[in-house]
Structure 1
């Protein structure tokens, strides 16, 4: 079992005191590997691997002449503004009027007026206001129209009432490119209703490690499906080059994330891909080969690294390969402050990215203004060649002209704008229902239990049965897909809704009970369960065991089976998972993936007609291999040691012989040798962890050797070697806290530490804590003032006071002490928080989770 903190190559270091000023300016963003900036960018790389693409969208001399005319009339400030993409929460209409940004976006969970329930009219109004401000030349002298980009990744998923399709993993199981093009066309239409021009889709990652939290955004482990789907999605969004390319019926598409995001070590989001260049092309680039060939106009750079170099800063991949060799003439947009992760960069200062070939900085937060100013200054001082700026702006203008943005009416007056009847209209939902039906994969069907007779007495159980948010997964209204209720999906349907309607229409009886309770014994139970919603970063897992350490769904299945009730399991998930025990306790088992808003379509396949005839057979086939153990996360057809529980392409249809018995191996012994010390801080911050300080309502990331915040003074000190510890002094006027927090506040999986009997350990030197209260904490939120059930703080004052004053000693706390207080170690954001009140003077170092130490910990809860 690989431990994430060990396999991630990147580290954040606290610089020496003499470099504090430089470090203040460079922030705490993780560089990829030490010394990265000195590495040659194209060592041992061969562009000949990459093809010269015959891209169907050719350059139009009239458009190129128009670009040259526009470029010749633009000031440097206007050019750089075209390259800045802020987010709607961080700019105003007046900002757009003043600066004339080339584009802007709404990130996941961002809405007009910060209102989750913003109406289509609200979306249109914001699009219209921003457009009019962009073409108003009264302040910036520019009348170039802006463009709005949005994450419409399974339908127009930020808008209440939109049609939500199955996530990509389910669409891959359907393996129907024609259907995929229809889905993209519907998505484009619903996006255009709200006046938006540009969609950040499709994701064309070829997923190689199913621990990755974005596994469900990939269509398949097979690059062939990924390539075919890239063509279909882009044609559906943009139109065909020889038909209606970027017409009034279409939007601009984005193939993402270039390159290798699905192949990082350990499945770590934003991690390091160490594939050879040939593998990078053969496995991870096929979606780009096909997508660019049919005319995708924008490419999004990936957060991940390739052999330790952040893609956002790779001139070789962004310029030499993508643009020069493959011939891509659209523009490259960054991902959410991805440029700030390049070694030597910050979110507001990164010439390296544009010099590498990034054309548009995606720069949410207020960092957009200093980035704009710094970029202008760097062109003036020669750090960024003006020719590189001109190239970037040429590409941006080319896409805008091809899309007709200079000639189309304003957003409020376009063909579909304001036609709110198109959002979630039944014809669109029927396309989604077809996708749901075709995406379902039947893994088990003992004694041909399915299809079910709808005239029976049917119990519907499980927490996913009547939960549209859960069945829709991440990137659903909110970024993580959390905090949604069924009321947030007008026009949508839960899985229970469909079963209820059909059973009652046939004269049967249906009962809904999440806990599986009933007054009349049912003929059969349908249990709907699975993963809670998550999106990028937060969904990373250390292994594929379902409900590791908390088998509540298995208990429900066993409870029903023990009462002699046949059980049909409908499993909601963003990846294949180790569910041997759940399979053993099911008579039939359906992988439903993340079906979206049209849960009722599942009943079309599970239930027969009243007369016993078939409604719809199963069509879905596994586009991801199904594991036979929790650690079988890297499981792809063609592997030398390929030995899945169920192979790629597997999927039963009605009448097929069942292949899974009820005696699958349910045991899994954790190999203690595989669980290593999870280092957090030992003078160096170990990825994915960062250090932060809290006091007086303020929260800052540690970015220098000295900080003062409220009542807290922080500085680096020496224990054994220079600057290998930190000293904390609190003056008693306010509470203060030192935290270790995951990068981007992503939830990290530390359940293996608990299974390995680990303790949270650190070395401490207490110079003055006589009048202090000190607590050691963990939480799953990571915010400055977290609330909620997944947080725990244990008073360790007494234990620290027993250590020799002024001498280094060790303190350790059994992880079970935290789980007993409600901590979910599979979802940790803050694994270490030292909360201090009163007068404090202490130093700490060597913060780690240490396997096998719980029994002998200073504070044990065994």
Structure 2
């Protein structure tokens, strides 16, 4: 029932304490972070779990990772677009192929389990995890759930890994979009919006579900028996096991012993306890000895965990080093990257195209500028190599930046790295492609909070503790949070060069001045490692098909105000060849 983080648990610990699972937190990797390093590590843990003697049964260990947009933890992996972009593609078949390709790159590292898909329905784009949500519309999210599970798990044979639907439940509905905050909705609304996407995932046989940090009507999900046991397991008929989020039970109570009892009795089966896992085991034993946690609850949790391992065929699989896909030379290979490039093409949404600025002719004299033009780390966003992502090119091996993609199509393209392109001669260029946007972020560090009073308000609604991280910024207005982007767009536009702006972001952002200064404007979301997919669209190799899966706000004040019309509605997206929506 215990899942420590790898840095706090050795193979010897796995045997001594009968550990059922180990995970890698964001950025936690073995050796040089190559697939072979991962296989060797997992092989050592597996052997320890299978070393039987008079006091130890041979029960194979599960290893879990956050491979949420490709196996982006590992050097050289194919990094797919984040979910917000995939939601714009409206293509469940593509989702299944992405999940299958991701599963193979997970299997190449000897890993069994990924904490995906995220089935959050993000209702407030201030939330730092908005990009993990396919859409603000539960129907769009639900349309992808079964496809993702089927692609990831397959027939539970050698081609699949265990999927994990998360976060149960209501994580996308918190007040003010505060990560791990309070979701105040009726049970009917919880069903209609936040529970609905889980139904197809459960029907597709998803084997695990992760509990959510948020609270529902004041009570933390990690300690909520109604949500975990009565609703998920009994009413919806989920037969797999429920895992806690990273140290998620810690916030149920200031008293850790009490928090353990609350969470186990609520129905959590496996516990992601990053460091203090030995204390967790001691406290849970005491609960059982005192009768505050019935032995039947322990039996139920262990039975569910063993059933998942058996359903996955883990008892029959060879050690990780001997598995079919381990150390596969096609890791990060062309087949997966072609799928990722297709995903980029289908996810881009064209918001503006005045004077037929797009498509760009390949023989045009092109100025390429903006801080995100040549930055693979910014393209990939959070949960890539490190928890908060990276901000360079070298960390993302394979694929290409948007600039590198443009260069393969256009011989007359020039990269300008001057912040304001002051030295540019407008007579030398026909068009400028300016790539701007947000920096990488993940979870609460991506929140946008206008004031800390919002944290006080949320905390007063929750029975339990809150984990508060420094937010990404104080406003969604991009010109305020990133004035350098408007500055470079405006500087080039004032020179008389037509500007095609490409925005990389984890959410729709108020960009009125940037839009006004641009002849064409593309929402590219967080496209991942395959920058050529953006170039495909700039040069008209394919028609735009992306449609907004989130309404695009006019300004920061109108976000989540139902009385205000959005700048672009849900479903909006232009095409370049016929000019219609």
Q: Cα distance 1:129–1:514, how it changes in 2: closer, same or farther (>3 A)?
A: farther
| Distance of 1:194 and 1:554 partners within structure 2 | 42
| Distance of 2:564 and 2:204 partners within structure 1 | 34
Q: Cα distance 1:139–1:650, how it changes in 2: closer, same or farther (>3 A)?
A: farther
Q: Cα distance 1:550–1:207, how it changes in 2: closer, same or farther (>3 A)?
A: closer
Instruction: Encode CA deviations 1:331-386: one digit per residue, 9 max, x unaligned.
Output: 00000010111135428961110000000111002x10011111011101101100
Q: Cα distance 1:574–1:550, how it changes in 2: closer, same or farther (>3 A)?
A: closer
- How far off its partner does 1:642 sit? 5.5
Q: Cα distance 1:209–1:430, how it changes in 2: closer, same or farther (>3 A)?
A: same
| Distance of 1:396 and 1:549 partners within structure 2 | 46
The answer on whether the counterparts of 1:150 and 1:200 sit within 8 Å (CA) in structure 2 is yes
Do residues 427 (structure 1) and 427 (structure 2) align?
A: no
Q: CA RMSD in A?
A: 1.5
Do residues 602 (structure 1) and 508 (structure 2) align?
A: no
| Distance of 2:114 and 2:414 partners within structure 1 | 41
Three-state SS of the structure 1 residue aligned to 2:70 is coil
- How far off its partner does 1:299 sit? 0.3
Do residues 593 (structure 1) and 525 (structure 2) align?
A: yes
- How far off its partner does 1:97 sit? 1.7
| Distance of 2:579 and 2:98 partners within structure 1 | 33
**TM-score of the aligned structures, taking structure 1 as reference length:** 0.63
The answer on whether the counterparts of 2:46 and 2:320 sit within 8 Å (CA) in structure 1 is yes
Q: More strand per residue: 1 or 2? A: 1
Match of 1:142 in 2: 57
- How far off its partner does 1:547 sit? 4.2
The answer on whether the counterparts of 2:368 and 2:413 sit within 8 Å (CA) in structure 1 is no
Gaps of 5+ in 2: 450-474
Match of 2:417 in 1: 513
- How far off its partner does 1:555 sit? 1.1
Three-state SS of the structure 1 residue aligned to 2:161 is coil
Do residues 618 (structure 1) and 544 (structure 2) align?
A: yes
Instruction: Encode CA deviations 1:556-606: one digit per residue, 9 max, x unaligned.
Output: 111111110100000000000000010011000000000000011111110
| Distance of 1:154 and 1:139 partners within structure 2 | 43
The answer on whether the counterparts of 2:233 and 2:239 sit within 8 Å (CA) in structure 1 is yes
Three-state SS of the structure 1 residue aligned to 2:110 is coil
| Distance of 1:234 and 1:272 partners within structure 2 | 28
Largest Rg, 1 or 2: 1
| Distance of 2:480 and 2:79 partners within structure 1 | 29
Match of 1:229 in 2: 144
Q: Cα distance 1:348–1:410, how it changes in 2: closer, same or farther (>3 A)?
A: farther
Query: Which of 435, 438, 445 lines up with 1:531 in the alignment?
Result: 438
Bigger relative CO (Cα 8 Å, ≥ 6 apart): 2
| Distance of 1:454 and 1:368 partners within structure 2 | 58
The answer on whether the counterparts of 2:359 and 2:538 sit within 8 Å (CA) in structure 1 is yes
| Distance of 1:198 and 1:296 partners within structure 2 | 11
Three-state SS of the structure 2 residue aligned to 1:548 is helix
The answer on whether the counterparts of 1:445 and 1:589 sit within 8 Å (CA) in structure 2 is yes
Match of 2:171 in 1: 261
| Distance of 1:653 and 1:533 partners within structure 2 | 29
Match of 2:243 in 1: 333
The answer on whether the counterparts of 2:349 and 2:548 sit within 8 Å (CA) in structure 1 is yes
Q: What are the residue-to-residue correspondences of 1:482-493 with 2, within 5 Å?
A: 482=390, 484-493=391-400
Match of 1:689 in 2: none
Q: Cα distance 1:347–1:126, how it changes in 2: closer, same or farther (>3 A)?
A: farther
**TM-score of the aligned structures, taking structure 2 as reference length:** 0.93
| Distance of 1:555 and 1:149 partners within structure 2 | 43
- How far off its partner does 1:445 sit? 0.3
- How far off its partner does 1:141 sit? 1.4
- How far off its partner does 1:655 sit? 3.5
| Distance of 1:139 and 1:450 partners within structure 2 | 71
Query: Which of 69, 75, 80 lines up with 1:154 in the alignment?
Result: 69
Query: Which of 211, 223, 228 lines up with 1:318 in the alignment?
Result: 228
Q: More helix per residue: 1 or 2? A: 2
Instruction: Encode CA deviations 1:172-221: one digit per residue, 9 max, x unaligned.
Output: 00010000000000000000000000010000000100100000000001
Q: What are the residue-to-residue correspondences of 1:723-738 with 2, within 5 Å?
A: none
Query: Which of 455, 470, 494 lines up with 1:562 in the alignment?
Result: 494
| Distance of 1:194 and 1:410 partners within structure 2 | 12
| Distance of 1:418 and 1:389 partners within structure 2 | 37
User: Which deviates more, 315-324 or 514-523?
Assistant: 514-523
The answer on whether the counterparts of 1:237 and 1:251 sit within 8 Å (CA) in structure 2 is yes
Three-state SS of the structure 2 residue aligned to 1:541 is coil
Q: What are the residue-to-residue correspondences of 1:397-436 with 2, within 5 Å?
A: 397-419=306-328, 421-436=329-344
Match of 1:829 in 2: none
Query: Which of 168, 175, 181 lines up with 1:271 in the alignment?
Result: 181
| Distance of 1:152 and 1:282 partners within structure 2 | 28
| Distance of 2:385 and 2:54 partners within structure 1 | 35
Gaps of 5+ in 1: 1-82, 240-244, 609-614, 660-862
The structure 1 segments of at least 4 consecutive aligned residues displaced by more than 6 Å after TM superposition are none
Three-state SS of the structure 2 residue aligned to 1:110 is coil
Three-state SS of the structure 2 residue aligned to 1:112 is coil
| Distance of 2:413 and 2:250 partners within structure 1 | 58
- How far off its partner does 1:257 sit? 0.1
Match of 2:505 in 1: 573
